[in-house]
Amino acid sequence: MGNVNYGRLIAGALLAAVFYFIADGFIHGALLGHYHMEAISRAGYPLTADNTSFIYFGLFDLGKGLVVMLIYVAARVPCKPGPKTAVVAGLIAWLAIAVLPSIEWMPFPFYEKSFWVKVIALEILPMVVGAILGAWIYKERES
């Protein structure tokens, strides 16, 4: 990883992060939003908007973009650069960011286990597409 192009790594991470932010908004708003509202209500909290929520979601998705790009850049050395390596990076990031945390939360009673299975299933495609988008931007520095 000696010739890492940090500018393009950050640009790829930002592009992936924007895509993740939009995809997560659709997944957790339009598709799974009613599950979140039910969990909040069952926990006894009022359903009120948090004006800072988008900051936290944005930071989370920025982290996702950075993680997927770091995996992709590291994988370019032993693997060939390109979409196949980006897909693998997206799958590894999906495992670390969506699958394992969802499994960790399954024993807690806030959501049904089926909710976490839906999260895992719905997150795979966006994680891979975001990795491909970020990889599309990335090129090594000239030696």
pLDDT > 90 fraction of the chain, expressed in percent and rounded: 85
Given a cut of 80, is residue 65 above it in pLDDT? yes
Tell me which residue has tokens 């597409």: 129
For 139, phi and psi rounded to 5 degrees?
Answer: -140, 145
Give the model's pLDDT for residue 102.
Answer: 97
For 142, phi and psi rounded to 5 degrees?
Answer: -70, 140
3-state helix, strand, coil in the chain (%, to 5): 75, 0, 25
Spatial contact of 140 and 4, defined as CB atoms under 8 Å apart: yes
Give the model's pLDDT for residue 49.
Answer: 85
* Helices 6-25 and 113-137, packing angle to 10 deg: 150
> pTM score, two decimals?
0.93
